[in-house]
């Protein structure tokens, strides 16, 4: 019962980020790094980070963009080994990523190769941020971190650093919704619903929920 209750909470999730050889696993691109943090009841309680060898050399653009070199990957374990470990790390938790469709495609592709699955659902922090922070200059992760004055060491495009920043942004979004609309606890389902709402309907939608009885979501 406790696990089922925790799985419904938006503040108990695995936040993840992949660095990859390109944009699409359907075009043969592979993951080269996974970074993730486990949030339990609003606190970061565990982390996962690992480079992984895709079995081929990456191009200079990806090396420059990520800071991950072919030499680093040559010494890294193969994708299959890392993804076995990461599947265990995920467990049955729900998942969050910034631009989640990208990370979900690679997670699904890499897990399919080793015949592993996950039972949680995805939510996208970028889509939710577009609804909650409509005055932000844009909704890239770095811009939102600056917009909300979230402390950072300035490192981006490495998987663990990006997942850490996404986790902090996610928790700030939850706190802002709680403070502005008096909704607590906030369910994972509600965050998924928010990502699909039109921007013009978000305020009235949350305002209505804040006036419902506790436990409605």
- Our CA angle for 140, 169, 163, nearest 5°, is 80
Neighbours of 26 (CB within 10 A): 8
Torsion angle of alpha carbons 185, 191, 193, 196, nearest 10°? Answer: 160
157 is catalytic: yes
From residue 101, alpha-carbon distances to 86, 98, 165 in Å are 18, 9, 18
Please identify which of the residues 98, 139, 157, 203 carries the catalytic annotation.
157
Residue 38 tokens read as 């486990």
CA-based end-to-end distance of the chain: 17
Strands (E), the chain: 13-20, 31-40, 43-51, 94-97, 122-124
Active-site amino acid positions: 157
């Amino acid at each position: 019962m406790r696990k089922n209750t925790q799985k419904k909470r938006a503040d108990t999730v695995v936040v993840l980020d992949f660095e990859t050889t390109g944009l699409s696993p359907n075009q043969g691109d592979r993951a080269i790094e996974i970074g993730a943090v486990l949030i339990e009841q609003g606190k970061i309680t565990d982390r996962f980070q690992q480079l992984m060898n895709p079995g081929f050399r990456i191009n200079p653009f990806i090396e420059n963009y990520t800071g991950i070199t072919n030499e680093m990957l040559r010494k890294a374990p193969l994708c299959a080994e890392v993804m076995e470990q990461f599947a265990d790390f995920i467990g049955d938790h729900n998942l969050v990523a910034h631009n989640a469709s990208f990370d979900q495609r690679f997670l699904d592709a890499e897990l399919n190769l080793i015949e592993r699955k996950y039972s949680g659902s995805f939510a996208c922090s970028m889509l939710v941020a577009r609804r909650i922070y409509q005055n932000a200059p844009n909704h890239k992760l770095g811009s939102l971190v600056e917009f909300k004055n979230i402390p950072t060491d300035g490192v981006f495009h490495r998987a663990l650093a990006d997942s850490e920043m996404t986790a902090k942004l996610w928790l700030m979004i939850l706190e802002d919704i709680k403070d502005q609309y008096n909704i607590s606890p906030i369910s994972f389902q509600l965050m998924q619903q928010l990502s699909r709402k039109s921007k013009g309907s978000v305020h009235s939608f949350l305002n209505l929920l804040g006036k419902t009885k506790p436990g409605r979501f």
